[in-house]
């Protein structure tokens, strides 16, 4: 165990944690940020996606020691009240079914649009292809992303 300092959703946290612990479990169990989901633990599904320095990353395979003092944003920190354009578009298009993968989908789409404000279909496919959804909401995810772009982006 060691003292590790993290910047999560704008606040500095110091935790006593095994440095090998994946960031996912630190967020969920020690910081109470359960919006970031565990599903595969192998970086294969994307449910655990968060932003690290603005990039979409899979928190289940990132040791917490590697993100010390980096800017981490989770779904809870994307907006204070669900007002991020993608969150709003997710409601407008009624994307979610079971909803378990959706925080990761939203975080991935948010990273895409902040880097590439007007992506073409190929760029959207590339960014989202590794994000699994067993309920099959892909068509609506694409529509929600397209809606944000059409309404002026982030």
Partner 1 sequence: MEISRRDFLKVSFVAGSGLVIAVYLGGCKELPTQENTPTATALLKSTPIPTRTELPEGTPTPEPPTWFTPNVFVTIGSAGLITITAHRSEMGQGVRTALPMILADELGADWNSVRVEQALGDPAYGSQETGGSHSIQNFYSIMRSAGAVGRQVLISAAAQTWGVDTRDCFTEKSMVIHRPSGQKLPFSALITLASTLPVPASRVISLKDPADFRIIGTSLGRVDNPEIITGKAVYGMDVRLPGMLYSAVAHCPVIRGKVTSYDDSATRQVPGVREVVQIDNGIAVVAEHAYQALRGKALLQVSWDSGANTRLNSTELEQALLERAKIATPPADELVQYYTMPYFAHATMEPMNCTANVSSDGCEVWVPTQNPQVVRSNIKGLLRIGPDKIKVYVPLIGGGFGRRLESGPAGLSPTVDYVSEAVQISQAIGAPVHLIWTRQDDFEHDMYQPLSVTRVRARLDDISTLSAQRFDVSSSIPVGYWRSVTNPPEAFARESFMDEYAVMTKADPVVLRHNYLNGRARDVVDMAADMASWGSPTPTGVGRGIAYHATWGATHVAQVAEVMVNETEIRVLHVFCAVDCGLVINPDMVIAQMESGIVFGLTAALKEHIHIESGIVTPYSFAGYPLLRFDEMPQVEVQIVKSTERPTGVGEMGNPPIAPAVANAVFAITGQRLRRLPLRLT
| List of residues contacting partner 1 (CB under 8 A) | 1, 18, 21-22, 25, 28-30, 32-42, 44-45, 47, 74-76, 78-79, 81-82, 87, 90-91, 94, 96-103, 106, 125-126, 128-142
Q: Whose Cβ is closer to partner 1: residue 72's or residue 137's?
A: 137
Write the burial class of residue 53 (CB in 10 Å: 0-12 exposed, 13-18 middle, 19+ buried). exposed
CB of 133 to partner 1, least distance (A): 7
CB of 9 to partner 1, least distance (A): 11
Question: What is the longest distance spanned by two Cα atoms in the chain?
Answer: 48
67-102: burial string, b at 16+ Cβ within 10 Å, e else: beebebbbbbbbeeeeebbbbbbbeebebbeeebbb
Q: Whose Cβ is closer to partner 1: residue 47's or residue 153's?
A: 47
CB of 33 to partner 1, least distance (A): 7
């Amino acid at each position: 165990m060691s003292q590790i300092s993290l910047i999560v959703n704008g606040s500095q946290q110091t935790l006593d944690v095994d440095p090998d612990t994946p960031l996912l479990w630190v967020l969920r169990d020690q910081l109470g940020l359960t919006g970031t989901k565990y599903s595969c633990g192998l970086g294969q599904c994307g449910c655990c996606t968060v932003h690290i320095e603005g990039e979409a990353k899979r928190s289940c395979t990132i040791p917490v020691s590697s993100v010390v003092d980096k800017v981490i944003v989770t779904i809870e920190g994307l907006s204070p009240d669900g007002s991020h354009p993608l969150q709003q578009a997710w409601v407008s298009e009624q994307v979610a079914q079971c909803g378990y993968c959706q925080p990761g989908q939203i975080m991935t789409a948010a990273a895409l649009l902040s880097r590439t404000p007007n992506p073409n279909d190929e760029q959207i496919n590339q960014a989202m292809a590794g994000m699994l959804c067993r309920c099959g909401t892909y068509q609506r995810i694409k529509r929600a992303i397209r809606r944000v772009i059409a309404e002026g982006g982030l």
